[in-house]
Chains A and B, each alone.
Chain A
Amino acid sequence: MKKSDFGVVSVIYAIGLGFLFMTLDLPDAAQTYPLVLISALLFVNTLYLIKSLASYRSNHQVEDDVAHAFKEFIPMQFLGVAAWIIGYLALMYVAGYYLSTAIFMVGAMLFLRVKPLHIAISVIVIAAMVAAVFSAFLHVPLPTGMFFG
């Protein structure tokens, strides 16, 4: 049995029940297929729970896979990167693609302690590549923000 098992099983039950709730709003004919899938999910989930408990019964061991998975986890670095990414998406909605990309890349790389020269080269290379392939050549429009572009 693994330490994460209860967590995983609960989340899957939650997802299954959430979908079940939404399914009941659908007209009858449209309910059948989702219900089949939801039952299958809950069934397999329960099987997994049973298997987990059975293996615990037989060898009374709880493998701490959570610790193993998060060994060497550096919270500050992880959260910092995550924050920068969320900030990037928010910024892009307002400021458009190129500006927010430049800010994000410079900021995130400074946060990750990249040498300024490398930062400059990377930003230029990526910006040039995106501009060349997406904009100039393929004419794929890129997000233009609400205020800038």
Chain B
Amino acid sequence: MLETLGLMGAGFIHALSPMNLLAMVASTALGITIGCLPGLSAAMGVALLLPVTFGMDPATGLIVLGGIYCGAIFGGSISAILIHTPGTPASAATAIEGYQLTLKGQAAKALSVACYASFCGGLLSCISLYFFSPLLAELAMQFKSPEYFWLSIFGLTIIAGVSSRSILKGLMSGILGLLISTIGMDPMEGVERFMFGQSTLYNGVNTTCALIGLFSMSQVFILAEKKIIERAKAAKFKMQYGLSRQEIKRLMPTITRSWLIGNILGILPGAGATIACFMGYNEARRFSKHKEEFGTGSIEGVAGSEAANNAVTGGSLIPTLTLGIPGESVTAVLMGGLIIHGLQPGPELFSTYAPMTYTFFAGFVLVQFAMLGIGLWGSKVFAQISRLSDSILIPSIVVLCVVGSYAIHNNFVEVIIMFIFGVIGYLVRKFDLNAAAIVLGLILGPIGENGLRRSLYLSDGDPMILFSTPLCWMLIILCVVGIFSPIIMGRFEKRMLDKNS
């Protein structure tokens, strides 16, 4: 124990070397830039910069990748808040409340809330990295096909949370998302489904593409239909970006909750930051004392989403480093980097290579501070973008959407797909269906389908396999609570009000 503490301390000392500090700041800044550009995801950023790290010392190389990872997950919130365009899918839920805040002139505040929340989420997830790795890794090993199925069901209950007015319409949107997610190769039978002869669709509709279309391109259409107001926006703009003590106090429960959600989702391979941000947002709304703010600009909504997605970063490192199971697509690339350096994930990393590993952990902690600093400073600068006239934003957003959706796979067909989803997104928003629900269906669809069909195949069609482990039951209870708690809590609150009046 003492020895481990000693190693941890040594890790910090090494992490504070000039080379590593420079690496941290540069990589975090780069990560934030990559994150805030729609279409460039965190995984892409890490993959693109992987070769650069080959010549470096392994610890420094890992710190660089960690900086890009955390920076990008935060960076996505910048464009989500300012132009309703999640820079990475992980910030999709941030766009819901963040953009409303921008419309009220509070872009700077929204950005700094996102920054603080990301910082807290990432930092707290480092605690689990240092102290709970073995335990959480074991939890990851318990998640098999049936458990993933129930996880996806729980994820789908979020649809009720993001459906502003009509739950039926929210459900329709969610099922539509599920249906769209079936486009592509059938995972169990290997046949083509609904592909219209397009080889691009073998893997289904790309989530990032659909997200850019549904959130950003649709925003362009919405901006284009109304008269372009220039002065009014600038007049309402408030430069205040710090958070008052009262606000911080109000956000703490949300951030803590989202940290736990993101941390646990992070350790599960296949469940990533995107699901975490929606869950964090939904739980923030469920437990909020200011529910009426949601939908018109709630800082709790922003905090709930951003703390969760950054908490995924530390969590996803756990199974990657201890078991060699990537917790998320970014860590899969990171693992590739480790292997090329000759480091195998597993106990070796904590025994033979412990000094390097703990230097990396320490660097990961310090990266959070770099992110806070750069992010807050950047908030001042970036917030100015919200003062730009829509007439400038419209073409600029289009250009970014196009380059972003093209950059995913260098495939022009995906630009067309993005545009189609833009049209769908516009109609969806006009007629009170729910774009977030479609995205949820799109992401959770494959997880749920694989979980369900594989479970049934393994058990020869016996549905009892879905109820076979304690973990399954825990998840089922969560689902039930998730569906019924708004109703129960509503009645509870009513009774309290009746009692008091």
Physical contact A–B (CB less than 8 Å): yes
Whether A30 pairs with B189 at a CB distance below 8 angstroms is yes
B:177-199 near A, CB below 8 Å: 178-179, 182, 186, 188-189, 191, 193-194
Whether B402 pairs with A33 at a CB distance below 8 angstroms is no
Q: Bound complex: CA of A47 vs CA of B169, how far in Å?
A: 10
Partner of B399 from the list A26, A29, A93, A101 (CB cut-off 8 Å) is A101
Q: Which of B137-145, B239-247, B362-370, B406-414 contacts A (4 or more CB under 8 A)?
A: B406-414
B:345-402 near A, CB below 8 Å: 389, 391-392, 394-396, 398-400, 402
Whether A122 pairs with B224 at a CB distance below 8 angstroms is no
A92 interface residue (CB < 8 Å to B): yes
B:277-317 near A, CB below 8 Å: none
Q: Bound complex: CA of A31 vs CA of B172, how far in Å?
A: 20
B249 interface residue (CB < 8 Å to A): no
Against B, the Cβ 8 Å flags (1 = close, 0 = not) of A21-61 are 01100110110011001101100110110010000000000
- With A34-B179, A47-B168 in contact, do A74 and B227 touch (Cβ < 8 Å)? yes
Give B172's nearest chain A residue, CB to CB: A44
B449 interface residue (CB < 8 Å to A): yes
Whether A141 pairs with B168 at a CB distance below 8 angstroms is no
B403 interface residue (CB < 8 Å to A): yes
How many interface residues does A have (CB within 8 Å)?
Answer: 60
B57 interface residue (CB < 8 Å to A): no
Chain A residues near B419: list those with CB within 8 A: 85, 89
- With A30-B189, A122-B392 in contact, do A45 and B172 touch (Cβ < 8 Å)? yes
Q: Bound complex: CA of A38 vs CA of B175, how far in Å?
A: 8
- With A37-B175, A126-B399 in contact, do A26 and B191 touch (Cβ < 8 Å)? yes
A82 interface residue (CB < 8 Å to B): yes
Give A85's nearest chain B residue, CB to CB: B398
- With A30-B189, A88-B398, A112-B228 in contact, do A8 and B433 touch (Cβ < 8 Å)? yes
Smallest distance from the beta carbon of B266 to chain A beta carbons, Å?
25
- With A19-B179, A78-B224 in contact, do A4 and B431 touch (Cβ < 8 Å)? yes
B231 interface residue (CB < 8 Å to A): no
Chain B residues near A140: list those with CB within 8 A: 48, 407, 410
- With A33-B449, A81-B224, A133-B33 in contact, do A109 and B415 touch (Cβ < 8 Å)? no
Against A, the Cβ 8 Å flags (1 = close, 0 = not) of B215-255 are 00000110011111000000000000000000000000000
Whether A74 pairs with B226 at a CB distance below 8 angstroms is yes
Partner of A92 from the list B227, B402, B432 (CB cut-off 8 Å) is B402
B:418-457 near A, CB below 8 Å: 419, 430-433, 449, 452-453
Smallest distance from the beta carbon of A13 to chain B beta carbons, Å?
11
Q: Bound complex: CA of A44 vs CA of B433, how far in Å?
A: 13
Give B429's nearest chain A residue, CB to CB: A69
Chain B interface bracket (under 10, 10 to 19, 20 to 34, 35 or more) = 35 or more
Smallest distance from the beta carbon of A99 to chain B beta carbons, Å?
13
Q: Bound complex: CA of A143 vs CA of B402, how far in Å?
A: 10
B37 interface residue (CB < 8 Å to A): yes
A:134-149 near B, CB below 8 Å: 134, 138-143
Partner of B225 from the list A74, A88, A97, A109 (CB cut-off 8 Å) is A74
B:150-187 near A, CB below 8 Å: 166, 168-169, 171-172, 175-176, 178-179, 182, 186
Chain A residues near B400: list those with CB within 8 A: 126
Chain A residues near B395: list those with CB within 8 A: 84, 104-105, 108-109, 112, 122
Whether A141 pairs with B410 at a CB distance below 8 angstroms is yes
Whether A26 pairs with B193 at a CB distance below 8 angstroms is yes
Whether A72 pairs with B182 at a CB distance below 8 angstroms is no
Whether A138 pairs with B48 at a CB distance below 8 angstroms is yes
Smallest distance from the beta carbon of B10 to chain A beta carbons, Å?
34
Whether B191 pairs with A139 at a CB distance below 8 angstroms is no
A65 interface residue (CB < 8 Å to B): yes
- With A8-B433, A89-B419, A143-B406 in contact, do A130 and B189 touch (Cβ < 8 Å)? no
Q: Bound complex: CA of A108 vs CA of B393, how far in Å?
A: 11
Partner of A77 from the list B191, B194, B224, B449 (CB cut-off 8 Å) is B224
Smallest distance from the beta carbon of B335 to chain A beta carbons, Å?
21
- With A48-B172, A51-B168, A88-B402 in contact, do A126 and B179 touch (Cβ < 8 Å)? no
Q: Bound complex: CA of A41 vs CA of B175, how far in Å?
A: 6
A114 interface residue (CB < 8 Å to B): yes
Chain B residues near A93: list those with CB within 8 A: 412
Smallest distance from the beta carbon of A42 to chain B beta carbons, Å?
9
- With A19-B179, A44-B175 in contact, do A130 and B224 touch (Cβ < 8 Å)? no
Whether A34 pairs with B176 at a CB distance below 8 angstroms is no
A15 interface residue (CB < 8 Å to B): yes
- With A37-B178, A48-B169 in contact, do A134 and B432 touch (Cβ < 8 Å)? no
Chain A residues near B228: list those with CB within 8 A: 112
Chain A residues near B172: list those with CB within 8 A: 12, 41, 44-45, 48
Q: Bound complex: CA of A149 vs CA of B416, how far in Å?
A: 19
Smallest distance from the beta carbon of B65 to chain A beta carbons, Å?
15
Partner of A7 from the list B221, B403, B431, B449 (CB cut-off 8 Å) is B431
A interface list, Cβ under 8 A from B: 4, 7-8, 12, 15, 19, 22-23, 26-27, 29-30, 33-34, 37-38, 40-41, 44-45, 47-48, 51, 65, 69-70, 72-74, 77-78, 81-82, 84-85, 88-89, 92-93, 97, 101, 104-105, 108-109, 112-114, 118, 122, 126, 130, 133-134, 138-143
Q: List 16 A-B contacts (CB under 8 A).
A: A15-B176, A22-B194, A23-B193, A34-B179, A37-B182, A40-B175, A48-B169, A69-B431, A73-B226, A77-B225, A78-B224, A88-B402, A93-B412, A122-B395, A138-B34, A138-B45
5 interchain residue pairs of minimum CB distance:
A112-B391, A81-B224, A108-B395, A78-B225, A48-B168
